[in-house]
Amino acid sequence: MNLQRKKVNPWWVATIAGMASYLDAAAIVSTGTALVLYQDALGLSSHAIGHYSALLTLGIAAGAIVGGRMGDRFGRRHVFTVTMILYALAAAGMVFAGGPGILYALIPALGFAVGADLPVSLAMISEEAPPSHKGKMITFSHLLWMGGMLAAMGIGAVVGNMGRTGGQILYAHLAIVAVIVLILRATLPESQAWVQAHSGKGSVEPQKMQLRELFTGRYLLPLIGTGLFYALANVAANTNGQFSTYIWVNVAGSTVRTASLVGLIGVGVSVVATFFLMRFVDTKYRMPLFAGAGVLAIAAWSLPIIFGFQPWVLITLAIVYAIGGAIAGEPMWKVWSQELFPTLLRSTAQGITTAFTRIVAAVVALWTPVILDAGPRVLYIFIVVLQIIAVLIGVFWLGRTRKAPDFIAPTEGAVRKDS
């Protein structure tokens, strides 16, 4: 296989491949809004909307497992080309959907496409990033995720009173962006690390990277660790995203407008915190920063348990957790998922842990309203316990696990001392 190829700016790779995160967030937020806008025109019942939301989550989970494995077997570029085609077709189909039946096929297809794209795109970013900037470029994908969320929220705010037309605009946005990403990805060559590993010219022989290595070999513990960390830390993030408005209105006695405003402030703080993580994630200060952020996340969710569900308490929670969650949450899972697995198992491992996390989030979300009715403090104690376990896993397990043999880690001379 020819290893010669044109040189590509790694930030260009990080942006174009990382758009999977943008499209993931945009698909979730857009679907939540668009289904409500489609409700009258397509005759959707509240039960049907719940089914569609569950199918989107399950589609993402299934896609992550399949796409992750295919990315390791057939290459990053081939898989994330096919996934963008499927994503664009599914989103375009949602624009012209004429009845509730077709949605049962299109929504899981949309989820499957973005789920399959995510682990492959993250692996591509990591493998093309310079040794001293791998963590920074992976963390950058989280900024793109927040960009997708904000874009969908912004469009939803504009078209929220337009009925079905508003929903069509939301899905048209997804289709158009997917097509643009598909075109731009045509400029990217295959991951050089994958080409070398697949051809046997890397530091690990391809035959030693069979799937069983994830379940019986040295990569079993990193797989369990990253899966548990992501799933447990994500419960807090998912609850904050799905149920914060419900809690503001039904528990704190406030308004949707206030909840939305505080949510936007939280996103802004998260963006700043993510930039802060990008600055230090490739340095010796990574783990101290992670531990400090983990304490902030735990403290944030402890506030309502101690002081009750008053508006000032929920505002403080939103701001403090925006810092702690951005640093000691999903971005660190992304970084560890690159470092701890070899090239030919990297996207497979991420696909498995992504699927596990989405399923756990769906199960917890199913029971969250019931727990809230029984007493909101019970839910928050549950979240605090999970946060504590997640931080301990990060500090004492993942942070101390040796990197995969073919992961090019920053050398001592390349690691920046303070930036």
Nearest to 79 by CA among 93, 92, 65, 99: 65
Residue 197 CA neighbour count, 13 Å, CB half: 29
> Could you tell me how many residues make up the chain?
419
Question: Do 126 and 146 lie in a common domain?
Answer: yes
- Domain for residue 407, yes or no? no
The domain boundary residue, chosen from 167, 202, 237: 202
Q: Which domain covers residue 391, as residue numbers?
A: 213-400
Question: Do 129 and 258 lie in a common domain?
Answer: no
Contacts 24+ apart (CB under 8 A), 109-112: 109/59, 110/27, 110/31, 110/56, 110/59, 110/174, 111/27, 111/55, 111/56, 111/57, 111/58, 111/59, 111/60, 111/62, 111/63, 112/59, 112/60, 112/62, 112/63, 112/66, 112/86
- Domain for residue 304, yes or no? yes
| Residue 124 and residue 17 in contact, taking contact as beta carbons nearer than 8 Å | yes
Q: What does the DSSP 8-state code read for residue 61? A: H
Which pLDDT does position 178 carry in this prediction?
Answer: 97
Structure tokens at 44: 């959707």
Question: Do 181 and 249 lie in a common domain?
Answer: no
Question: Do 43 and 109 lie in a common domain?
Answer: yes
Question: Do 315 and 387 lie in a common domain?
Answer: yes
- Residue 31 makes CB contacts below 8 A (sequence gap 6+) with 52, 53, 56, 107, 110
- Domain for residue 419, yes or no? no
76-93 per-position pLDDT tens digit:
999 989 999 999 999 999
Question: Do 309 and 384 lie in a common domain?
Answer: yes
Burial of 400 (0-12, 13-18, 19+ CB in 10 A): exposed
Structure tokens at 48: 């049907």
Question: Do 242 and 390 lie in a common domain?
Answer: yes
How far is CA 70 from each of CA 73, 249, 281, 339, 403, rounded to the nearest angstrom? Answer: 5, 44, 29, 20, 23
The domain boundary residue, chosen from 202, 234, 256: 202
- Domain for residue 254, yes or no? yes
- Domain for residue 1, yes or no? no
Question: Do 138 and 258 lie in a common domain?
Answer: no
pTM for the structure as a whole: 0.90
- Domain for residue 90, yes or no? yes
Question: Do 16 and 85 lie in a common domain?
Answer: yes
216-241 per-position pLDDT tens digit:
878 999 999 999 999 999 999 988 88
| Residue 337 and residue 350 in contact, taking contact as beta carbons nearer than 8 Å | yes
Q: What does the DSSP 8-state code read for residue 44? A: -
SS3 6: coil
Which pLDDT does position 411 carry in this prediction?
Answer: 45
In the chain, the number of structural domains is 2
- Domain for residue 87, yes or no? yes
Question: Do 382 and 249 lie in a common domain?
Answer: yes
Question: Do 168 and 71 lie in a common domain?
Answer: yes
| Residue 297 and residue 321 in contact, taking contact as beta carbons nearer than 8 Å | yes
Which pLDDT does position 209 carry in this prediction?
Answer: 63
Which pLDDT does position 236 carry in this prediction?
Answer: 94
Q: Which residues of the chain have pLDDT under 70?
A: 1-6, 201-209, 408-419
Which pLDDT does position 203 carry in this prediction?
Answer: 56
Q: What does the DSSP 8-state code read for residue 309? A: S
Residue 19 CA neighbour count, 13 Å, CB half: 22
Which pLDDT does position 127 carry in this prediction?
Answer: 93
CATH number at residue 72: 1.20.1250.20
Question: Do 334 and 359 lie in a common domain?
Answer: yes
Report the Cα 361 to chain-centroid distance in Å.
12
Report the distance separating Cα 144 and Cα 16, nearest Å.
10
- Domain for residue 271, yes or no? yes
